[in-house]
Chains A and B, each alone.
Chain A
Amino acid sequence: MFDFLIQGFDVALSPMNLGLAFLGALLGTLFGALPGIGPINGIAILMPLAYTLGLPAESALILLAGVYTGAEYGGRMSSILLNVPGDAGAVMTTLDGHPLAKKGLAGPALGLSAVSSFVGATIAIIGLTLFAPLLAEVAVMFGPAEFFALMVFAFASMSVMMGNDPIKTGIGAVLGVLIAMVGVDSGTGVMRYTFGMAELYDGIDFVVMIIGLFAISEILLMLEHAHGKNANQEMPPLGRVMVSAKELLYCKWAMLRSGVIGFIVGVLPGTGASVAGAVTYTTEKRLSDKHNTFGTGDMRGLAAPEAGNNASAAGSFVPMLTLGIPGSGTTAVLLGALMLYNITPGPMLFTERPEVAGGLIASLYIGNLVLLALNLPLAGLFAKTLTMPRWVLVPGIAILAFVGVYQLHSDLMAIYLMLIVGVFGYALRKLGFSLAPVILGYVLGGLMEDNLRRALSISGGEVGILWDSAISICLWIAAAMLLVLPWLLSRAFSRKSPVTA
């Protein structure tokens, strides 16, 4: 059963792939620590460059997955030291991480969070190794109708879990799917939404889309933040980045529990690190906050979300590798990267391309060790990048974005398109949209339509095929429950407890 893993370690332990895992972990931590560049931005910027290196699919994926997990590690630094979350997954880390740093415990806090990240990620990678092949075996039975229902479920789960405004999450996802419609329709050869422009016949390029949406919009947002309140912060002294065995034992249950919860949250499609951080923090607070110390620098309040968000990062690979449904915005980007290599992740990945699935999982084990080894001694160095001035950072992002897009086809049209997408992304973010649903919709949109049309071709146009099997009925019911339950619950609660304000 674990043949794929043995083969995977063969792949991942080759000198080149080891080097790439190391490079990915290093760059990822750096990108995660840099203000404004989270995992998605890091991958968006590096992906086209990785593509030009002519790496085989599994090596490119190992590099990018290293960046992803590394960025989840790096994101905690600015949370702890500056009280500014480096990315969405690290929001809860600020609650107890920053008070610890203010108490002069910045070093131990960084050490503890590195270890809890490691523990959380390890639990989730083991979970991934055990569950992914099982889920793949079930998913082999999925036909187009089941896949269509699964994607509806993924979008439902995303709109409920992601962001604070389900309507906007839904709109974002629909906009993403609509953008995916641009270009020639593979079924009939009809041009859709190309407006006669030859550059749009192949659709809006994936790289153009993510670099515009994330990197360019980030540049514009940074300009605003430069004029915001907390433009200058002072860094608390770091001290020695070490954590004692006593402190670790104090947090052991927080880490283990949060690792398991984070993994489960990560597996659910559409729910990423930010949800995992919030769920694990509140769970831990409820279970172990006996003396009301959470929020004032309790080590367990730091260990829980850190273990949780790193576990969810690894957990979100489960649906991506086995079903082809990304568990988070970042895995949606990784999924798109795989599609550039003409690999469509799905249940067959483990049997048809075991070197890709196994190599990736094996490299997660290795990358996780590398990250722990890098983050304990080098935390001081990474912390220095937090204060990198924006006038260095922004031109750097701009150059990487331009060259990354330009080298695709040596085509300037792609750059104009990237700028337009960037303004679009900026406007969406200003209007309170989260970008992850847009990218998920964009990545899944084409597949969703394909599956719908294939299902209806099989049935000769009879819509009933969409809820013909037990699996798809379960998925439809689950999706409907997800959409209706929060609304029912909030109504029930508001009736029970009248407003006290």
Chain B
Amino acid sequence: MRIAADRILGLALIGLAAFAAFNASQFHVNFSYEPVGPKAFPILLSAILATLSLVLVFRPGENGDWPDKRVTLKLLAVLGVLLVYALLFARLGFVVMTFLTVLSLARLFEASWKKAAIAGLLMTLGSYYLFTLGLGIALPGGHWLPDFN
């Protein structure tokens, strides 16, 4: 049997359907005013999902292009940058973190250091004033840097 992305996906989705159905069967209702209750619809969905996924397992489509190793590493790096942005957003504040994030994202998308730094500076200041003055959004100042604001 040919191993195709769609086959793996189909099996994973059948697993998901089983999990969703099992989970739904555990929903416990003390007293219900209506005949259907919270279980039936999710279980019905799981059944449809499993059926469609089964078709996928037996009739997989084309495999598609998957990124090579270098691009995969870069994808992970971009996700890492975004995750760090989220992790430190409140701690270091909007201004510091946005500058660092724009700088690293621009570098990952192949800007020179100089261009990336200029983009970081302009976009940080521009978005800061747009959000605070223009839209009245309260942005985190960063509680690790108490003197910054």
Binding site for B on A (CB under 8 A): 49, 52-53, 165, 167-168, 170-171, 174-175, 177-178, 181, 185, 187-188, 190, 192-193, 216, 219-220, 222-224, 226-227, 389-392, 394-396, 398-400, 402-403, 406-407, 410, 412, 415-416, 419, 423, 430-432, 449, 452-453, 456-457, 460-461
Contact = CB atoms under 8 A, between A and B. Distances in A.
Interface of B: 5-6, 9, 13, 20, 23-24, 27-29, 32-38, 41-42, 45-46, 48-49, 52-53, 55-56, 59, 61-62, 64, 66-67, 70-71, 74-75, 78-79, 82-83, 85-86, 89-90, 94, 98, 101-102, 105-111, 115-116, 119-120, 123, 127, 131, 135-140
B101 A395 contact: yes
Main secondary structure of the interface of B (DSSP, over half): helix
A394 B111 CA distance: 12
Nearest to A54: B136
A70 B113 CA distance: 35
Given A52-B135, A223-B75, 15 more contacts: A165-B61, A177-B45, A178-B42, A188-B29, A190-B28, A223-B71, A391-B110, A391-B119, A396-B123, A402-B86, A403-B139, A406-B139, A419-B79, A431-B6, A449-B41
Given A171-B53, A185-B38, A398-B101, A193 B20 contact: yes
Nearest to B91: A412
A395 B45 CA distance: 38
Nearest to A399: B127
Given A170-B52, A193-B20, A223-B71, A52 B137 contact: yes
B74 to A, nearest CB: 6
Contact of B32 (A170, A188, A460): A188
A49 B135 contact: yes
Interface centre among B38, B49, B135 (most CB of A within 10 A): B38
Contact of A403 (B36, B61, B137): B137
Given A171-B49, A389-B111, A453 B89 contact: no
A270 to B, nearest CB: 17
Contacts of B34: 187, 453, 456-457
Contacts of A216: 82
Contact of A461 (B5, B36, B110): B36
Contact of B86 (A223, A415, A456): A415
Interface centre among A193, A391, A402, A432 (most CB of B within 10 A): A391
Contacts of B140: 406, 410
A407 B28 CA distance: 35
11 contacts: A167-B55, A168-B61, A174-B52, A190-B29, A192-B23, A220-B78, A223-B78, A391-B119, A394-B105, A394-B109, A402-B89
A52 B131 CA distance: 10
B11 to A, nearest CB: 13
B20 A223 contact: no
A292 to B, nearest CB: 31
A112 to B, nearest CB: 35
A190 B55 contact: no
A192 B123 contact: no
A178 B20 contact: yes
Contacts of A400: 127
Contacts of B56: 167-168, 171
A463 B86 CA distance: 48
A192 B64 contact: no
Interface centre among A216, A222, A226, A406 (most CB of B within 10 A): A406
B71 A193 contact: no
Given A188-B32, A193-B23, A407 B109 contact: no
A452 B41 contact: yes
A190 B33 CA distance: 13
A391 B109 contact: yes
Given A219-B78, A391-B106, A449-B41, A403 B127 contact: yes
A29 to B, nearest CB: 20
A403 B71 CA distance: 27
A407 B137 contact: yes
A456 B35 contact: yes
Contacts of B85: 398, 402
Contact of B45 (A178, A398, A456): A178
